[in-house]
Amino acid sequence: MTQLAITTNTIQPIINLVCNAVTSQHTRRAYSRGLTDFMAWHGSTGQSGFSKATVQAHVTELRAQGISASSINQRLTAIRKLANELADNGIIDHSTAQAIARAEGVRSEGKRLGNWLTKEQAQTLIGLPDVSTIKGLRDRAILAILLGCGLRREECAALTVAHVQQREGRWVIVDLVGKRSKTRSVPMPAWAKAAIDAYTVASGIVAGSLFRSMRRGDKMTGDSMTAQAIFDVVRSYAVAIGVEVRPHDLRRTFAKLAHKGAAPIEQIQLSLGHSSVQTTERYIGVQQDLSSAPCDALGLRL
């Protein structure tokens, strides 16, 4: 067992290395939170070293707290990466890091059902923003993109005017860089494009970031919205219709409604950018059909 005094001052730079090595902001936040919690537990329980036994004790504690299997396994992945970085920086030996890499995760039984909106709820949600204001037009366009294209909130926040182009006679979000730096193109329904047009005309946006922050007086700043700001927009309107959904639930709603509308499962997968089909079925590997896209089967309107 490697004996060492793990302190915030010595380990925090290594934690930063672990977090900065991942491209997804969501994963980066999760890793940072998980490693920070591990450090707090390590100090509060008087642990004297960093070993496989230490990690397994932490996993046992997380299970006792009722943390879900998926969350524990994600934290364990971050801890394994931390061990590798510590070994590479000479703080622990490589044999200890290899032992930590073999620490067992928690088996996940069953499948989380998740949350989504019905077609009627989704239609109501789109109609909530006050379209007499620029903010309302912006918010409606955000909801339309999340529901109509199935984007992640980070992807929505990163959209630019240049992303929206015509391909094969339809509007498409082209060359969108998503999770794990994967690039894809996502077909857009006509009603979502209409929402974007109404917003950009009113705001005068012709280039650069598509969704921008607002200040009082319905005035727009030049700063692009953050993923957290997208989250807050969705939550504020969801509360108004008495449901508890997040941006990812709108992404799930896109997939659910498209599937109910008889869109091919492999085309839904391509729109979502899944590398394997656990949420959209197993990845089959077909050419993306932009003329008959999943978003055409949603049955929604502006």
* pLDDT, tens only, 129-145: 999 999 999 999 999 99
Separation between Cα atoms, residue 288 and residue 267, nearest integer Å: 6
Residues ≥6 apart with Cβ < 8 Å to 274: 280, 283
- Cβ contact 215:221 at 8 Å: yes
Nearest 5°: CA angle at 85, between 80 and 87?
A: 95
According to the model, what pLDDT value does residue 10 have?
64
Q: How confident is the model at residue 291 (pLDDT cuts 50, 70, 90)?
A: low
- Cβ contact 171:164 at 8 Å: yes
- Judged against a pLDDT cut of 50, whether residue 1 lies above it is answered with no
- Which two three-digit tokens encode residue 196? 């974007």
- Which two three-digit tokens encode residue 174? 């082209």
Instruction: Say which residue, 285 or 273, is predicted with more confidence.
Output: 273
Q: What 3-state class would DSSP assign to 49?
A: strand
- CATH number 1.10.10.10 given to 8-101: no
- Judged against a pLDDT cut of 90, whether residue 3 lies above it is answered with no
Which residues belong to CATH 1.10.443.10 in the chain?
119-297
Superfamily of chain region 119-297: Intergrase catalytic core (1.10.443.10)
- Judged against a pLDDT cut of 70, whether residue 8 lies above it is answered with no
Give the chain's length. Answer: 302
According to the model, what pLDDT value does residue 231 have?
94
CA 40 to each of CA 26, 67, 167, 226: distance values in angstroms, whole numbers, following the listed order:
21, 16, 51, 28
Stated pTM of the model: 0.66
According to the model, what pLDDT value does residue 114 have?
57
Which residues belong to CATH 1.10.150.130 in the chain?
8-101
Exposed (0-12), middle (13-18) or buried (19+): which is 291, by Cβ within 10 Å? exposed
Instruction: Say which residue, 34 or 108, is predicted with more confidence.
Output: 34
- Judged against a pLDDT cut of 90, whether residue 292 lies above it is answered with no
- Which two three-digit tokens encode residue 189? 């329904």
